[in-house]
Amino acid sequence: MADIAKHVFIKVNDDGAGNRLDKFLALKDLGFSRSQIQNLIHDGHIKVRGHAGTSSSLRIQAGDSIDIHIPALKPLSVKPVPIPLAIIYEDSHLLVLEKPAGLVVHPGAGDEDYTLVHGLLHHCQDLSGIGGYLRPGIVHRLDKNTSGLMVVAKDDEAHRGLAEQFKAGKIGKTYLALVRGRLRDRSGCLDLAIGRHPVNRKKMSIRSRNGRFAITEWQVVEELRGASLLSLKIRTGRTHQIRVHMSSLGHPVLGDSLYRGPTEFRVGHAVIPIRRQMLHAACLQFIHPITGEKMKWESNLPADMASVLERLRSLNG
């Protein structure tokens, strides 16, 4: 276990009695989000009445003693790499960038040496430790082959503030997607829980026993021959959410082979190759976690997706 960097002792009074342990501590201004506190509880760094291994959902009582051992940050093993970053806004607390398709956000199996995190560490010399081991500054993510807007935290306070907004559903995220077929309605809302696929562990599914609620709102922007351009807003941030929901509706994202999206589009004699999933994070809105300013950014379709769209439009004539 890492060396102890800090020790905090809290005595529960009558006002705190009956609260969940994690919620109680999240309100104590310890400098940690609720999810970070849950991780500390899970790892045995928080003891209640002298006992570790307790649950985050434990209901605490008046007079309970809570010992919190905050370990030192794990050393960051990721090395900076000079990766070109399309940064469209930056201040001392955060930055907003356009992630290209094909770039993985953080290191993982098979993607250890060239990720967005590597590029961020080269660009921002003070990012180490932010957000935890291996994921400095990362508050949310986009799939490897999804392009578009992301916000990155540059200090712990900004990270906590943004994470809380994401958890509360206060960050606005709008995507553009090209999907197969024409939808019956002009707009709609999908409220289908998403969890790990029971057989294929690389996939997510609406048929998982342990799915978490997920809400996607969609609207038709343009009808094409055999396809549609959609604007989608997600009220939750589940893994592969839009991809799973649109596939479950029978209109998978073009190019998304994992969820039955075609990798080439055929209409008559025309064949349009589709190299990756046609999904782009086009708009991002949030409140600056330090200044309180309302902020909004928009991103145009990248060249590959715009090219597919234009070729689909040419089929309409």
pLDDT tens digit string along 230-250? 999 998 889 999 999 999 999
H/E stretch holding 314: helix 303-316
Length reported for the chain: 317
Token pair for 273 = 């190759």
pLDDT value at position 32? 73
Q: Which residues of the chain register pLDDT less than 70?
A: 1-5, 29, 31, 33, 53, 72-76, 109-111, 126-135, 317
Q: What are the structural domains of the chain?
A: 4-71 (3.10.290.10), 86-167 (3.30.2350.10), 172-316 (3.30.2350.10)
Separation of CA 8 from chain center: 31
- Residue pair 105/113 in contact (Cβ under 8 Å)? The answer is no
State how far the Cα of 175 lies from the Cα of 190, in Å rounded to an integer: 15
What pLDDT, on a 0 to 100 scale, did the predictor assign at position 51?
Answer: 82
Distance of CA 15 to the CA centre of its chain: 35
Q: Other C-beta atoms within 10 Å of 136: how many?
A: 23
This prediction has a pTM of 0.78
Give the per-residue pLDDT at 55: 85
Q: Which residues are part of the catalytic machinery?
A: 143
